[in-house]
């Protein structure tokens, strides 16, 4: 085992392990009427069902994974550059796939990034995942007006989430994001579930700029943080049918958990004694839907807050907004007639 870990860097090993879990979760022992759901049945449900209405879509988006290091009096904000993108996608009532290309300008320091997210709905079970890898951050200080770009700072994170939708209403946020609402009623739904989070922050030297080192203690002179957290969450979602073919959606899911963290600083390494991890997901959208096309705007943010001890806190936030114009194709896979 040591030989394998020697060849693969730690974060690559964790990435591979969790990706394996994400793509094999479809084969877990979920039962309907005491019959195992097979991968082919899942594919039929998500892709090949004659009950699905499909659409193609043009997408423009803003997405930014930022983090903040702070104490009682001082704060540093780390923002990636070039957060805008354009692309295209497909959608139905059960899934959304968007391919977005990052836009870069010639007159700024470029952040390199990789991001992927998605969700699978099985009956009233929602499985979601998000993967982020960002290299290069602009560092701004609350204490002074100086700003610098740090190409060596990188943040990687993987989040897994599960929600069991409770109650009679069979609505989900992912269905709302598709822009294909299949109801004209205002509905509210709620659910309970859990989440997993892995993250790794790395830099060649302390992430605190030299001009700000006087405002932070030596335990904040961080150049590497690794963390793994698990917790529970509860969510409430709502779909609002508005006049003139408009609709709105909202979703909020607060959670609490525990996170193991290992911190490396210029003066030594330590494990924070406070394991509490606070999480909140928020999503809202406003849309216009007609028989053949739809337009909608979405905004969402996921954030995590935890303590590093010694009066230092770290706050991770993923903010995303999207403008979509879609064309409804309708049913693609029609049921074959029996002879």
Residue 174 or 21, more confident = 174
**Mean pLDDT, rounded, for 52-61:** 88
The answer to the question of residue 290 being in a domain is: yes
Tokens 């405002």 label which residue? Answer: 215
272 within domain boundaries: yes
Residue 154: give its domain's CATH number: 2.40.128
For residue 94, pLDDT over 80 is answered with no
**9 lies in some domain:** no
In a domain, 156, yes or no: yes
Residue 26 pLDDT exceeds 80: no
Per-residue three-class SS string for 287-321: EEECCCEEEEEEEEEEEEEEECCCCCEEEEEEEEE
**Residues 106, 132: Cα–Cα separation, whole Å:** 24
CA distance between the termini of the chain = 58
Q: Which residue's structure tokens are 């602009």? A: 138
**Distance separating alpha carbons of residues 324 and 62, to the nearest angstrom:** 12
CA distances, 280 to each of 41, 43, 227 (Å): 33, 31, 18
**Cα(169)–Cα(157) distance, integer angstroms:** 33
What is the reported pLDDT for 336? 53
The answer to which of 21-35, 139-153, 197-211 has the lowest mean pLDDT is 21-35
Residue 45 inside a domain? The answer is: no
For 178-193, the DSSP string reads TT----SS-EEEEEEE
For the segment 158-180, what is each residue's pLDDT rounded down to a tens digit?
999 998 988 766 554 445 554 45
**How far is CA 222 from its chain centroid?**
25
The reported pLDDT for the residue numbered 181 is 55
Average pLDDT over all residues of the chain: 80
Q: Is residue 307 part of a domain?
A: yes
pLDDT of 21 strictly over 70: no
Task: For residue 309, report the phi and psi dihedrals to the nearest 5 degrees.
Answer: 65, 175
What's the domain count of the chain?
1
Beta strand ranges found along 203-245 (DSSP E): 222-241
In a domain, 23, yes or no: no
User: Is 324 domain-assigned?
Assistant: yes
Give the domain extent around 152.
Answer: 52-330
Residues 6+ apart with CB under 8 A from 229: 195, 196, 197, 198, 257, 258, 259, 260, 277, 304, 306
């Amino acid at each position: 085992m040591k030989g394998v870990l020697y060849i693969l860097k730690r974060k690559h090993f964790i990435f591979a392990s969790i990706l394996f879990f994400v793509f094999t979760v479809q084969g877990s022992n979920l039962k309907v009427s005491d019959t195992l759901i097979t991968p082919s049945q899942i594919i039929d449900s998500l892709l090949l069902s004659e009950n699905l209405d499909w659409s193609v879509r043009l997408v423009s988006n803003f997405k930014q994974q930022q983090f903040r290091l702070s104490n009682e009096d001082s704060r540093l904000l780390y923002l990636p550059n070039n957060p805008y993108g354009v692309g295209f996608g497909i959608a139905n009532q059960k899934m959304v796939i968007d391919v977005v290309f990052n836009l870069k300008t010639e007159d700024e320091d470029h952040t390199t990034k990789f991001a992927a997210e998605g969700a699978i709905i099985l009956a009233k079970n929602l499985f979601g995942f998000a993967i982020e890898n960002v290299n290069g951050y602009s560092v701004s200080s609350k204490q002074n007006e100086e700003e610098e770009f740090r190409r060596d700072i990188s943040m990687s994170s993987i989040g897994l989430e599960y929600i069991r939708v409770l109650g009679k209403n069979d609505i989900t946020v992912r269905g709302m994001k598709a822009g294909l609402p299949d109801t004209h009623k205002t509905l509210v739904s709620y659910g309970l579930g859990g989440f997993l989070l892995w993250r790794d922050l790395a830099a060649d030297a302390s992430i605190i700029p030299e001009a700000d080192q006087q405002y932070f203690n030596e335990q904040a002179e961080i150049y590497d943080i690794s963390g793994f957290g698990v917790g529970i969450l509860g969510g409430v979602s709502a779909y609002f049918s508005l006049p003139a073919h408009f609709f709105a959606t909202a979703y909020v899911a607060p959670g609490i958990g525990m996170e193991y963290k290992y911190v490396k600083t210029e003066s030594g390494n330590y494990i924070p004694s406070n394991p509490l991890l606070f999480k909140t997901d928020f999503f809202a959208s406003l849309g216009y839907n007609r028989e053949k096309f739809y337009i909608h705007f979405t905004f969402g943010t996921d954030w995590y807050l935890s303590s590093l001890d010694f009066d230092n806190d770290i706050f991770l936030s993923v903010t995303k907004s999207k403008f979509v114009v879609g064309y409804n194709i309708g049913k693609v896979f029609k049921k074959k007639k029996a002879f």
